[in-house]
Chains A and B, each alone.
Chain A
Amino acid sequence: DSGVTQTPKHLITATGQRVTLRCSPRSGDLSVYWYQQSLDQGLQFLIQYYNGEERAKGNILERFSAQQFPDLHSELNLSSLELGDSALYFCASSVGAGGIIETQYFGPGTRLLVL
């Protein structure tokens, strides 16, 4: 168990809808990273937050947004969902800002199915 928790574990929704995925980092970790894992694209970095502020952005669509709250948990909001958004969404956390080499600890993921 990595210590990173994600809810829900599974999510089934329809095209055009909006969902929110939640992540709680390991105790003491200040950075949260979001990744999307799909069969064709593999694991892709979406966005990183450090201590409440956006730190780095990857291949995140404009329909997607994230935030990190004062208690350090993070939420990933996916809107106007399309069939192609069906994927596993992972959250990872690390101790600092990522400015030095740090291990990222991954949560168990949220499996999103858009019908």
Chain B
Amino acid sequence: QQQVKQSPQSLIVQKGGISIINCAYENTAFDYFPWYQQFPGKGPALLIAIRPDVSEKKEGRFTISFNKSAKQFSLHIMDSQPGDSATYFCAASGSPGAGSYQLTFGKGTKLSVIP
């Protein structure tokens, strides 16, 4: 079964620090890698996404680093703020040839940013 492995399960970071969440995948047919952010009581919301033709994508304080040969990608949150406290999910999706961009999710990382 297609899998995306995410670590760590939980993360505590001080305000202003860097939060790093890692994911690894197995299926080389994956070619779209989004990160979703979920606050308690809410549905996941797209945060940032990358395709394998670039090694890094930055949007504000959020950066995805992508290593195609290692089949790994990571989310870096710079200058972490208490408002960033949420659960973060990495995901991966296949090519159009598969007929559907269904998402395969990692199990999530609960981030707590303490003042």
Contact present for A98 and B43 (CB under 8 Å): no
Most central of B42, B51, B100, B106 by chain A CB within 10 Å: B100
Q: Is B115 an interface residue (CB 8 A)?
A: no
Q: Is B114 an interface residue (CB 8 A)?
A: no
Q: Is B60 an interface residue (CB 8 A)?
A: no
Q: CB < 8 Å: which of B45, B100, B103 contacts A97?
A: B100
Contact present for A101 and B43 (CB under 8 Å): no
Q: CB < 8 Å: which of A45, A90, A105, A108 contacts B102?
A: A45
Residue of B nearest to A56 (CB): B100
Chain B: interface size category: 20 to 34
Q: CB < 8 Å: which of A101, A103, A105 contacts B51?
A: A101
Q: CB < 8 Å: which of B42, B49, B102 contacts A33?
A: B102
Residue of A nearest to B99 (CB): A56
Contacts of A107 in B (CB 8 A): 43
Q: Is A104 an interface residue (CB 8 A)?
A: yes
Given A90-B43, A106-B43, do A42 and B106 touch, yes or no (CB 8 Å)? yes
Q: Is B73 an interface residue (CB 8 A)?
A: no
Q: CB < 8 Å: which of A48, A90, A103, A108 contacts B100?
A: A48
Contacts of B41 in A (CB 8 A): 108
Contact present for A4 and B43 (CB under 8 Å): yes
Contacts of B43 in A (CB 8 A): 2, 4, 90, 92, 106-109
Q: Is A11 an interface residue (CB 8 A)?
A: no
Contact present for A43 and B89 (CB under 8 Å): yes
- C-alpha spacing A4/B43, complex, angstroms: 10
- Chain B positions within 8 Å of A, measured between CB atoms, are 32, 34, 36, 41-46, 49, 51, 89, 93, 96, 99-108
